[in-house]
Amino acid sequence: MSFLKRREKNPKVDGETLVILDLDGTLGYSLIPEEEAFRKIFELTCRKLNRNCDLEIGTEKMEQFYKEAKKTHYELHYLKPKRHNKRLRLKIFLDKIQENNGVRFDSGFLDEIYKVYWDYFGAHAKSYPDTCKTLEKLMEKSIVVIATNNEDEEAEIKKKLFGLEAGKHYKYMFTSDRLGVCKPAPEFIEELMGCLEKDLGHSVSNKRVVVVGDDPRVDFAWAKPIGAVTIRVKKDLNASREPSSEEEKPDFTVDNVSDILDIV
Ligand SMILES: [Mg+2]
């Protein structure tokens, strides 16, 4: 199976477009709420250490522990589904604090901060005002696919928060659990096309492909070898991030999700 090879041999397109959209930051506001939810956890952990262990650690230091935890987490599960698992990241975060300060959190504390994370996130993450209408319009004329680095469980939560329904707003949603790999791994496109063709029951090698994302670091480079048109939605936390190489640059940049209708 090689979508790449078949595409090179058969560059003709049949008029139908395949639109592959990222989830976080692209279809909804979720990355800033994620950061804010972690900040709530830093504050809560500071209070906990102060109350139970008489330990004064500031939130900046907590943030440092979190950054180290995120780095360790990414290295442990390099471009694999588990690298986005929040429970695992929070566990590594607490482990770092314990190791560095000679303290021990009670067994329920991980559950407590995990709940704080999702309560805060659930109250603040939401789709953009034009997301659902735009997807409905795209569905009329293209194959709409959402491809996310989230695991199944987290993708399910965000799907609900963003009000996205299969069949109405998208045809398939592919999570990192299903694909076994995360963006920006080069094999991401192969896995994605393999799963898509399996579910559709036919080849997509003659389709025009449009890839939509918000993060120049992960959303575009993997899509370029198949000649996809890449569109950046400049929103949420990554709005101010500049591409760091030619590879990371999208073909188009838009301010709103609905603007992609002019390009697709
Ligand atoms: Mg994103």
What's phi and psi for 253, nearest 5 deg? -125, 130
Distance CA 52, CA 46 (A): 10
Residue with tokens 């953009």: 128
Average pLDDT over residues 30-38: 97
pLDDT for 263 beyond 50: yes
Average pLDDT over residues 160-184: 97
Count CB atoms within 10 A of the CB of residue 71.
11
Give the distance (Å) from ligand 1 centre to CA of residue 213.
Answer: 6
Give the distance (Å) from ligand 1 centre to CA of residue 154.
Answer: 13
CB within 5 A of ion ligand 1: which residues?
Answer: 22, 24-25, 214-215
Give the distance (Å) from ligand 1 centre to CA of residue 90.
Answer: 21
Give the distance (Å) from ligand 1 centre to CA of residue 232.
Answer: 10
DSSP run (H or E) holding 88: helix 86-101
Taking CA atoms, 126 is separated from 28, 130, 210, in Å, by 6, 11, 24
pLDDT for 9 beyond 50: no
Give the distance (Å) from ligand 1 centre to CA of residue 81.
Answer: 15
Report residue 28 as tokens.
């909804």
Q: Is the link from the previous residue into 184 a cis peptide, with omega within 30 of 0?
A: yes
With beta carbons less than 8 A apart as the criterion, state whether 31 and 238 touch.
yes
Give the distance (Å) from ligand 1 centre to CA of residue 57.
Answer: 32
pLDDT at 15: 76
